[in-house]
Structure 1
Amino acid sequence: MSKHFRVSGRLPVKLKELGVRVSSVLEHAGLPSGLFDQSRISLSTEEFFALWRGIGQVSPDPAIGLALGTETKAEHFDPVVLAALSTGNFGEAMRQIARYKQLSCPEELVLEAGDAEWSIHFRWLLAKEMEPAVLTDLCFAWVLGIARHGTGTRISPVRLELQRARAHAKPLERHFGCPVVFGAARNAIVFRASDTALHFVTRNAELLAMLAPQLDEELKRHKGEESFPERVRATIQKKLTGSRPKMQEIARELHISSRTLQRRLQDAGYSFQRALEEARHQLARHYLTNSLLELSETAHLLGYEDSNSFVRAFRVWEGVPPAHWRGARREKAAL
C-alpha cells in the first residue's frame, strides 16, 4: 500500500479557473507555498485532508467539490480512468479502478453488491480523522462523472448517503439527480444493482490492451516495493468482514504455504498475530472515524467475539476506550 497521495498538477489550474486563490488554500492548509511548483506532489493523509479542508475554507462555493470532481475532457483523464472507460461496462470499470487504486494512495474503493442495490464508498486507510466534506463531494462526483461519460447517458444513483448534518442539499440533489440522505451511517453513493451491467459507449479494446499491461507492470513493481508484513496486513484487512481470518486462509490468498508465510514474517521480525492486530487497529481507526457503526458492529467486523474484547484491545492500542477516542475525534473535527 502506498502511504502517500499523489496530487494532480491540474488541481491548481482548476482552482484558478474556479476563482480560488491557490496561495490562500495552501496558507489555510498549513502547507508550503511552493507545493505546486514540484514536478511530483506527494502528501500524507493528514496533509491531503488539510489541503481539501483549505479549499473548503477559502472557496465561497459550497459545491466546489462537485466542480473539482467533474471532468468532461478525455485528455484530462489519467491512465487509470482511461483504462476503466475502455472496459465493457460500469461494473467492470469500477472494479478496474478499485484494483489500481493502491498504486497511488492509501485509499480503497469499496464496492458492495446486493440483490437490488450496488454501493460505492471510499476507505481512507491511514486516516486519523473524518475526510473533509469537499473531498467526499469530489469523490462521488468523480464516480458519477465516469458513469455518465462511459455510458453516454445522464445516469443518476438511487441516493447519496452522507454522514454530515444537512447543509447545501439543493446543489447536491441537482448534481446527482437523486435524494441525499444526511446523518447517514456512512458516506456512499448507491446505484441500482442492474447499473453494473450498463454498456460503456467508450469501450476501446485496443486502448485497454495498451494501458492494462503498463498498469499491471506498475502494480507488480508497487507490490514488490511493499514489505511482506504490509502485504499480509492488507490481505488480512480484506478478509476482516465479520470473522477472524486464519493463517492458512491468508497464505492461500498470497499463493504461498502457511510455513512460508510464517517464516517470511519471522524474517521481517513479525508474527502472524502482530500482523493481525495491526490490521485490526488500522481498520478500527477507520470505522470509528468514518462511520456511525455501533461498537458492537465494529467489533463484529473486526472479528472479535464480543464488544468487551474489542474495547480491551483498543485500550492497549490507543490508551483509551474506543468510545472516548471517537468522541475526541469528533470534537476536534467540529472545532
Structure 2
Amino acid sequence: MHVIHTGSRQPASAPPGNSIGILASAATGLVGFIGQQGGDAERILGRAGIDSERLEHPTLTLDLNQYCQVFEEAARQTGNDNFGLRFGQQFKPDALGLLGYVGMCSATLGDALRNVVNTFPVHQQSSLLRLEEMGEFYRLDYQVQYGAILRKRQDAELSLGMFFNLMRHALGQNWAPEKVLFEHPQPEAWHEHCKVFDAPVLFGQQRNALVFRRSVLDRPMPGRDPRLLAIVIESMHLLRGQAGTLMSFSEDDRTI
C-alpha cells in the first residue's frame, strides 16, 4: 500500500492578532542578503511592516502576508527580478531552523520529505505542502493558499529552492530534478531558473512543484539522528500546542 502524507491546508494555530504566520527562521540571513544585492534592508523590511529584530529569533512568528511582501519589495528595490530565486539558491537546510532539522535528522530522503510535510503546518500556515506519487515519479507540491496574498512569485521561487537544497543535502550538489513547475507566468530572466535547478522549468502551471524519480527517496540522510529528530518534533509540538495532533514522523521509508 502506498501512503502519501499531505500537509494541512488549515492554520495549525494563529499568531498574535489572528494573522497567518510563518516562523522567522524562513528569513534567516535575509538582511545580509538584501545588502549583498545592493538593497536597503531596513527600508525594505519597514515597507513590508516587518521588525528586523524579530528575524533574530527563529522560533518567533512573522505575518505570512508581510513575509511575501518583503521579497516582492526586495525584488523591486534591488532591481533583481529573480531575488527570491537567488535567496532560495543559497539557503541551506540548517538555516531553516526546526523544519530544516526535521529533514536533516530523518533516516532517508523519503522520511525527510514526509516528516517535513507533516510538520509544515507548524512552520507555515494557510499553505499546502504535499508529496504526491505519480508512478515512477514523485512530485513535491507547494502553494500559499491564503487568499489575501496575491503577489507570491518570489516566495514560490525561494521555497522550491529551499526544498531543492534539502534534497541535494542527501543526493549531492550534482543532483537535479526531472522538472520544476511554477504557477506564475514566465519571467523575463527565466533562463536563470533552468540554470539554478539544472532542469527544465515550466511556468503558468497549476502548482509550484519539484518532480523527481521515486528511487531517490531511498537515499540515507547524511546527518540522520533519530534521537535529535524526536527532540525537534517535540519542540514543534510545544511551539504550536494543538498542532501536535496533526504531526507524526517516520524512522524509515517503509510507509512509501
TM-score (norm 2): 0.75
C-alpha distance in 2 between matches for 1:166 and 1:77 = 27
1:210-251 Cα deviation digits (max 9, x unpaired): x22222323433564469xxx7xx89xxxxxxxxxxxxxxxx
Q: Is the partner of 1:70 in helix, strand or coil?
A: helix
Gaps of 5+ in 2: 1-11, 15-20, 248-256
Deviation at 1:145, TM superposition (A): 0.8
C-alpha distance in 1 between matches for 2:239 and 2:232 = 10
**Is the aligned partner of 1:14 residue 2:22?**
no
1:284-335 Cα deviation digits (max 9, x unpaired): xxxxxxxxxxxxxxxxxxxxxxxxxxxxxxxxxxxxxxxxxxxxxxxxxxxx
**Corresponding position of 2:112:** 93
Deviation at 1:175, TM superposition (A): 0.6
User: Residues 45 and 127 of structure 1 are in contact (CA less than 8 Å); yes or no, is this contact kept in structure 2?
Assistant: no
Deviation at 1:99, TM superposition (A): 1.9
**Is the aligned partner of 1:49 residue 2:49?**
no
1:237-269 Cα deviation digits (max 9, x unpaired): xxxxxxxxxxxxxxxxxxxxxxxxxxxxxxxxx
Out of 157, 170, 187, the position equivalent to 2:191 is 170
Deviation at 1:75, TM superposition (A): 6.0
**Corresponding position of 1:135:** 155
Which range is displaced more, 103-112 or 138-147?
A: 103-112
**Corresponding position of 2:200:** 179
Cα distance change on mapping 1:58 and 1:216 into 2, 3 Å: same
**Corresponding position of 1:243:** none
User: Residues 93 and 162 of structure 2 are in contact (CA less than 8 Å); yes or no, is this contact kept in structure 1?
Assistant: no
Q: Is the partner of 1:120 in helix, strand or coil?
A: strand
Q: In the alignment, residue 234 of structure 2 is paired with which amino acid? A: E
Q: Is the partner of 1:5 in helix, strand or coil?
A: strand
Deviation at 1:46, TM superposition (A): 2.2
What does 1:165-314 align with in structure 2 at a 5 Å threshold? Answer: 165-167=185-187, 168-200=189-221, 202-205=222-225, 208-209=226-227, 211-222=228-239, 224-225=241-242
C-alpha distance in 2 between matches for 1:122 and 1:73 = 18
1:121-158 Cα deviation digits (max 9, x unpaired): 22334342345211111011111111112222411111
User: Residues 14 and 68 of structure 1 are in contact (CA less than 8 Å); yes or no, is this contact kept in structure 2?
Assistant: yes
Deviation at 1:195, TM superposition (A): 2.3
Work out the number of aligned pairs and report it.
223
Q: In the alignment, residue 182 of structure 1 is paired with which amino acid? A: F
Larger RCO: 1 or 2 (CA < 8 Å, sep 6+): 2
Cα distance change on mapping 1:11 and 1:224 into 2, 3 Å: same
1:24-78 Cα deviation digits (max 9, x unpaired): 312443x15xx11245453323222222221221222233212211347676452
C-alpha distance in 2 between matches for 1:84 and 1:218 = 14
Percent identity between matched residues is 17
**Is the aligned partner of 1:112 residue 2:132?**
yes
TM-score (norm 1): 0.59
User: Residues 186 and 204 of structure 2 are in contact (CA less than 8 Å); yes or no, is this contact kept in structure 1?
Assistant: yes
C-alpha distance in 2 between matches for 1:150 and 1:131 = 32
Between Structure 1 and Structure 2, which shows a larger proportion of helix residues?
A: 1
Which has the greater radius of gyration?
1
C-alpha distance in 1 between matches for 2:93 and 2:72 = 28
Q: Is the partner of 1:166 in helix, strand or coil?
A: coil
C-alpha distance in 1 between matches for 2:122 and 2:97 = 13
Gaps of 5+ in 1: 236-335
C-alpha distance in 1 between matches for 2:96 and 2:145 = 24
Out of 163, 168, 176, the position equivalent to 1:148 is 168
Deviation at 1:95, TM superposition (A): 0.9
Cα distance change on mapping 1:119 and 1:130 into 2, 3 Å: farther
Q: Is the partner of 1:55 in helix, strand or coil?
A: helix
Cα distance change on mapping 1:162 and 1:224 into 2, 3 Å: closer
Q: In the alignment, residue 169 of structure 2 is paired with which amino acid? A: H
